[in-house]
Structure 1
Amino acid sequence: MRPMLIGAPTIEPVSLTDMKAWLREDGGDEDQLIQALIVSARMTLEAYTRRFFVTQSWRITLNAWPLDALMLSIPFAPFQAVSAIRIFDANDMAQTLAPISYRAPPASDGARVTFKSAPPAPGRSVDGIEIDFSVGYGASASGTPEPLRRAMMVLVAHWREKRGDDVNDVLPKSVIQLAAPFRRERLS
């Protein structure tokens, strides 16, 4: 399974205005830096929690269906919806499965796509299956749980203060405490 981002978030869970208020920053000299730190904090905390904060679109590619071809797990959370499932034949022509042929209900810890009948096998051996889907807590910043938004603010403030001077290369304890309840553990 190879994931690819196909539609980045259109907003951040923490706005520049909110972040500047948190930092007690009045001027505009560091707006570009603060905005970059907001994006970096979101991405860092998404990786730490293994959750996506605001709506974004992803694509996974598979070489073949799993052994149980009637069910496919998509380990992205919180899962919103499948937008398309395409299967490529030997001539690289895509066949899009009809949405009525599968079910993928929203789920907080990843999706289980179930098929009414076994989907057709791909005709090409590499990346023969593409699945496009959306994940995230929602399209607005307010959909992201407040502790995760607060963790982002604390992390941005920490990075701005330290400016790369921190030799300890771990997340600050306060950030971990805020984000830990949302962290999805690995099964393997």
Structure 2
Amino acid sequence: MTITVVKPPAVEPVALADLRQFLRLSGTGEDMLLSGLLKAARETLEAQTGLALIKQTQRLYVDQWPKDGLVKIDRHPVRSIVCVTAYEPDGVPVILPIAQMHLETATRPARLHLHHEADGLGGLEIDFIAGFGETALDVPDALKHALMTLVAHWYEFRGAVGPADHPVSLTPAFERAVSLWRRISL
């Protein structure tokens, strides 16, 4: 199973003004650099935790129809299902009615129960909306702080040393904050 972003978040989870204040920068001359660092930090955090911080549309690719009709969506928090497309053996897409499905969002990972006969259907594409909300106010403060500490670290050490000599790639403060949100399976 592979997940890709179909529609990225409209905003970042931390406002540039807040990030500049955190970094004690008064001007806006570094905003382009800070925007890039913030996006990279968000993508790093989301990849490490399986979270989607701000509302975004993602697509889960499933290689074959699940025998038990259950698909686990390894993103959190999943808000809703947009579209489910199954493929016949000859590659013809079939849009499945969402009314014949049940989404459990209280679990992690979220679970999508497909109440539909497989009848030779193969792979699936499941488009879903994930994220804590549409604005930075919806994102937990600990995660925003983790992002700002990581951006601060990258900002301070940019170009000072080569990648091999970099003191650390992720700060301990970032690791501690993110560890609370990592999904660990046994």
**2:153 paired residue number:** 158
When normalised by structure 1's length, the TM-score is 0.88
**1:132 paired residue number:** 127
| Shift, 1:111, TM fit | 1.4
Matched letter for residue 42 of structure 2:
R
Identity fraction in percent: 32
**2:77 paired residue number:** 78
Matches within 5 A, 1:1-188: 1-68=1-68, 70-107=69-106, 109-122=108-121, 128-164=123-159, 165=161, 167-187=166-186
Contact 1:87 1:120 in 2 (8 A): no
| Shift, 1:59, TM fit | 1.0
| Shift, 1:106, TM fit | 2.5
Matched letter for residue 62 of structure 1:
V
| Shift, 1:91, TM fit | 4.7
> Take 2:120 and 2:81, find their aligned partners in 1: how far apart are those partners?
19
Q: CA RMSD in A?
A: 1.8
* Cα shift readout 1:132-184 (whole Å, capped 9, x = no counterpart): 11111111111111000001111111111111436234311111122221111
Q: 1:130 to 1:120 in 2, by over 3 A?
A: farther
Structure 2 unaligned segments of length 5 or more: list them: none
Contact 1:59 1:133 in 2 (8 A): yes
Contact 1:87 1:121 in 2 (8 A): no
Q: 1:108 to 1:52 in 2, by over 3 A?
A: farther
Contact 1:64 1:121 in 2 (8 A): no
Runs of 4 or more, structure 1, over 4 Å off, are none
Contact 1:81 1:105 in 2 (8 A): no
> Take 1:170 and 1:30, find their aligned partners in 2: how far apart are those partners?
21
Deviates more, 1:44-53 or 1:15-24: 44-53
Structure 2 residue matching 1:104: 3-state secondary structure: strand
